[in-house]
Amino acid sequence: MITVTKTFLPPIEEYNKQVQRAWDNQWLTNRGELVLELEEKLKQYLKVSNIIITTNGTIPLQIALKLLGNGGEIITTPFSYVATTAAIVWENCTPVFVDIHPEYLTLDENKIEAAITDKTTAILATHVFGNPCQVEAIEAIAKKHNLKVIYDAAHCFGVTYKDKSIFDYGDVSTCSFHATKLFHTGEGGAMFTKDAALQHQLFYSHNFGHKTVLDFHGLGINGKISELQAAMGLAVFPYIETIVEERKKIVNFYNALLDFSRLDKIKIRENTEWNYSYYPVLLKNEATLLDIQARLLSENIIPRRYFNPSLNNLPYCKNVKMPISENISERVLCLPLYVGLKTEDLDKICKIINAK
Ligand SMILES: *Cc1c(COP(=O)(O)O)cnc(C)c1O
């Protein structure tokens, strides 16, 4: 069976070696030696000034929205994973959808201003498939209207834009280290900010608000990552360059073999060093997609319809029309992309998709 992705697993001896450290320390969570070491390694690799690693990639969205959303209207993208919208609703804010750009698939910066009201507090945009939003335009709009900017950068491990980590943009950026993501800790995530005061708030928020054992800075929740999750991260980390290189080869293979007279790929934003995190293709229409999907399934190849449905159609959101996102959601298919995917399988996938 060939699936859309496959978790990268390091040799188990290397994982065991890291887990053994937790045993030796008799220390399983609360920012032990493994978590601190992983944060240091990631900070250097990603070239960011700060990182707080968390137990998943959703809790940092919630913490950021709790601190910056203020129960208001959040301008957001309908084309993302459900966590983006769910976090807004969960934090008692109101998602206000703005349609996406038809080629970049990120929030259309030209449509943001029309959606701003006196209740708008923040913009939560996703760098979907690791493709950066138009961050300069979004920053200018936010400044003009005194709004906060949160980026769901769950797909962006290692992405740079204009030679800076994409995590450096926005008031807060978040990432996911879920097992299906490029770099993973089984379950895990991270949040980033360059603002020292906000960093302090994010930090205590993810640890129950603690100042000392008996004293509190403010409201908090448990967003901490455990030593056992960090052990996986430390075991995967030495392979990160190999992972990116292997994925790049597969992306180049698809680029060379697929018939682009019959489908489109997404446009990666200029000045981006991309991470090859997904291989979405845009088919002519949903009928073509269903046909291709069925033919792949009959060969035990399982692509995924990332992202469908368009999030404006979630049952707990006010129904609004988002024509571009809905149209893209009907015809976008993410093709298998993972370390270890064989050339003969790639050949087969391309033949099935190219066949009439
Ligand atoms: C994976 C993902 C999340 C959630 O991350 P978890 O680590 O699974 O909680 C949020 N947003 C997007 C866009 C994602 O793909």
Q: How far apart are CA 76 and CA 111, in angstroms?
A: 11
Q: How far is the CA of 42 from the centre of ligand 1 (A)?
A: 18
Task: Identify the pLDDT of residue 170.
Answer: 98
| Same structural domain, 34 and 145 | yes
pLDDT tens digit string along 60-111?
999 999 999 999 999 999 999 999 999 999 999 999 999 999 999 999 999 9
152 lines ligand 1 (CB under 6 A): yes
State whether 335 and 188 are in the same domain: no
For residue 329, the domain's CATH number is 3.90.1150.10
Rounded to the nearest 10°, the torsion over CA 224, 229, 230, 231 is 150
Predicted local confidence at residue 319, as pLDDT: 85
284-323: pLDDT as tens digits:
999 999 999 999 999 999 999 999 999 999 999 998 999 9
Residue 88 lies in a domain: yes
Looking at the fold, whether 317 and 215 belong to one and the same domain comes out as no
Candidate of 81, 156, 157 to mutate for ligand 1, largest count of ligand atoms within 8 Å of Cβ: 81
Residues 231 and 125 in one domain: yes
Residue length, the chain? 356
Q: Are residues 27 and 171 in the same domain?
A: yes
Task: Measure 352 CA to ligand 1 centroid, in angstroms.
Answer: 30
| CATH number for 62 | 3.40.640.10
**Percent of the chain, pLDDT > 70?**
100
Same domain, 147 and 251: no
pLDDT of residue 165: 98
Residues in CB range of 163: below 8 A, 6 or more apart: none
Looking at the fold, whether 228 and 308 belong to one and the same domain comes out as: no
pTM beyond 0.75: yes
The whole-number average pLDDT for the span 40-59 is: 98
pLDDT value, residue 33: 98
Instruction: Read off the pLDDT of residues 185-199 as tens digits, 9 standing for 90 and up.
Output: 999 999 999 999 999
Residue whose CA is at the smallest distance from ligand 1 atom 2? 154
> Both 297 and 234 in a single domain?
no
Centre of ligand 1 from the C-alpha of residue 154, in Å: 5
Residues 304 and 340 in one domain: yes
Query: 225: Cβ below 6 Å to ligand 1?
Result: no
Q: What is the mean pLDDT of residues 112-140?
A: 98
Residue 356 confidence (pLDDT): 67
SS3 state at 303: coil
299 in a structural domain: yes
Question: Given this model, what pLDDT does residue 346 score?
Answer: 97
3 falls within a domain: no
Number of domains forming the structure of the chain: 2
pLDDT exceeds 70 at position 326 = yes
Residues spanned by the domain of 338: 239-354
